[in-house]
Structure 1
């Protein structure tokens, strides 16, 4: 299904950029001798792999948001999994779970920085392999949690599909019965005024409504807890770094400050491009608000940009990595020019 040019191109361009930037960032971090990041490199590798997995899902399962009256929906807009099947329904729920998975990975980073400042010996002793394995399992928990609630409680059953069927066909020319879609319907009764009389009619089933409400509440609880944990550990880390009584050297303290700044921006990126669009899309139908189709298009596009933007924050806020990044690009650029010039010289025929 073709939505618009931005919906078609931006997720694909973001995914390609993610597959280029994330491995390049890992290469720079892993081969840098000045920073001496130690075991933190494994977390950065873990984050890069997660970002690339997210980008892969963006390419395989491109999503678009559609709201109608008291219902929120997200559907697969393109590709091999667009048509309805139970497997495809699980797949779109799995894709949505990566939004929460990003916060799970960020929690691991914040917790690592917290232990560096408050209990470095514990971190040194247990991080490898127990810490990194715990971080991976914690991410799995977020992904499984979201997949279950999206599939079982927010799945597009027949009554919910009928509710948005006419509107979906009007806007996108597709029959929602045959689409891979997640639908949350908050109310099944609607009122309208005719001849100065209020008429009430029923759309959907109470079971679908209660399942939708329960599912979105459970997803919201985990989302807000995830955000609260980031604020809590971010505050504790920043307060510790701002204390003059810290026993770290100035060089170490400066590096930790740079890394925390990068981490805060890395946390802000999914909050702005994933969490905020989700919350607006989820709760807009409850109050029957209509912000226009642009917000629904923007929500699907914004989520796809996170994996490409995330590693750039680390490169920007750590000068050593930023300089190494620029140097590597310049070396590649001049090396390419040198090989081109050499090829031209060798192509000139000899006059001897």
Structure 2
């Protein structure tokens, strides 16, 4: 299903770039001295692996978003699950669950940075096999919760298929009944403009669909708000501890600040390209905003950029990684620019010597 060149190609380009920058990021981590960031390197590697998993899901489950002024729809636009009915809907739910997984892994990073400063004994427990397993369960529960909410409250049915039928036929020339989708329908506007056959079936959104739409959106909003609030609270405590801890050496404080700065940017990225587009798509219909295909440009493309911007932010902000990468890039340039020059003949009949500069 072709919507626009930017929607068709940019997510795929970002997905491919994710498999370039994240392995590069992992190489920079593993080639760094262990003493520089300690066991925190394992969390950073985990972050890179998750980014590649995120891109894999996105490449296999390409989605599109449509707003109608009374509802929002996220549907499967292409890929191996296209046209598979409920299986495709489940794939969309899992794809949406990756947004919550990104929240979960960021929370783990903030918790780690917090306890490094406040209680190192807990860090030791976190890095044991049992602790790592607990962190994994905590992480995976975010995705399961989000996907479950999508499946229980935001599934598509005959009523929502009928409601968006005209708009999808007009804008995309597809039958909405053939699509796998998730949808929140809050109310129906302008019924007098609808054909009578549709008007009879949709005098208003049924109480049941309005109830489950509101419940689903409010639960997802709660998950998102809890994650962002935790970032802000833990971040404020970390910065305050760094400022009021004269016992820590300047070198250690500098390292903590660099790591926290990178983590802060990592947090800013999903807030801008995950949290904000979701809020716009969810609550635009509540405010009567008919965003139509603009959700694809403001949301889908932005969401696909997350796994690429994530490792780039850390590489650019951490001097060790940035300088090492610049050094690697400069080596072939220096090699190409360097030449060989022969020493002028000395007058010796035995021949001329050659020296590389």
| TM-score over 0.5 (shorter chain) | yes
Aligned with 1:72: secondary structure? strand
CA–CA separation in structure 2 for the residues paired with 1:127 and 1:103: 20
How do residues 170-181 of structure 1 correspond to structure 2 at under 5 angstroms?
170-181=170-181
Whether the 8 Å contact between 1:43 and 1:132 is mirrored in structure 2 is no
Shift of 1:270: 0.6
The aligned residue for residue 27 of structure 1 is 27
Shift of 1:326: 1.5
CA–CA separation in structure 1 for the residues paired with 2:79 and 2:291: 28
Question: Structure 1 stretch 209-218 or stretch 283-292: which is displaced more?
Answer: 283-292
The aligned residue for residue 95 of structure 1 is 95
Aligned with 2:128: secondary structure? helix
How do residues 145-156 of structure 1 correspond to structure 2 at under 5 angstroms?
145-156=145-156
Aligned with 1:202: secondary structure? coil
CA–CA separation in structure 2 for the residues paired with 1:137 and 1:284: 33
The change in CA–CA distance for 1:242 and 1:155 in structure 2 (over 3 A counts) is: same
The aligned residue for residue 196 of structure 1 is none
Whether the 8 Å contact between 2:72 and 2:285 is mirrored in structure 1 is yes
Shift of 1:332: 5.6
Q: Which runs of 5+ in 1 are unaligned?
A: 194-198, 342-352
The aligned residue for residue 144 of structure 2 is 144
Measured against aligned partners, the alpha-carbon deviations of 1:229-252 in whole angstroms (never above 9, x if no partner) come to 011101101111122x33221111
How do residues 1-352 of structure 1 correspond to structure 2 at under 5 angstroms?
1-33=1-33, 36-188=36-188, 202-243=203-244, 245-291=245-291, 293-331=293-331
Whether the 8 Å contact between 2:67 and 2:292 is mirrored in structure 1 is no
Shift of 1:34: 6.9
The change in CA–CA distance for 1:87 and 1:237 in structure 2 (over 3 A counts) is: same
The aligned residue for residue 349 of structure 1 is none
Shift of 1:315: 1.0
Measured against aligned partners, the alpha-carbon deviations of 1:15-60 in whole angstroms (never above 9, x if no partner) come to 1111111111111111111752221111111111110011011111
Measured against aligned partners, the alpha-carbon deviations of 1:75-105 in whole angstroms (never above 9, x if no partner) come to 1112222214211111100000111110100
TM-score (normalised: structure 1): 0.89
Shift of 1:125: 4.2
CA–CA separation in structure 2 for the residues paired with 1:161 and 1:295: 19
CA–CA separation in structure 2 for the residues paired with 1:285 and 1:67: 7
Shift of 1:134: 2.2
CA–CA separation in structure 2 for the residues paired with 1:123 and 1:161: 50
Whether the 8 Å contact between 2:188 and 2:204 is mirrored in structure 1 is yes
Shift of 1:135: 2.2
Shift of 1:300: 0.8
TM-score (normalised: structure 2): 0.87
Question: Structure 1 stretch 126-135 or stretch 61-70: which is displaced more?
Answer: 126-135
Shift of 1:318: 1.0
Aligned with 1:36: secondary structure? helix
Whether the 8 Å contact between 2:70 and 2:288 is mirrored in structure 1 is yes
Question: Structure 1 stretch 105-114 or stretch 130-139: which is displaced more?
Answer: 130-139
CA–CA separation in structure 2 for the residues paired with 1:176 and 1:230: 39
Shift of 1:143: 0.6
Whether the 8 Å contact between 1:35 and 1:320 is mirrored in structure 2 is no
Measured against aligned partners, the alpha-carbon deviations of 1:243-284 in whole angstroms (never above 9, x if no partner) come to 2x3322111110110000000000000110011000011001
CA–CA separation in structure 1 for the residues paired with 2:58 and 2:239: 34
Whether the 8 Å contact between 1:67 and 1:296 is mirrored in structure 2 is no
Structural RMSD (CA):
2.2
Whether the 8 Å contact between 2:104 and 2:227 is mirrored in structure 1 is yes
CA–CA separation in structure 2 for the residues paired with 1:20 and 1:31: 17
Tell which structure's C-alpha radius of gyration is larger: 2
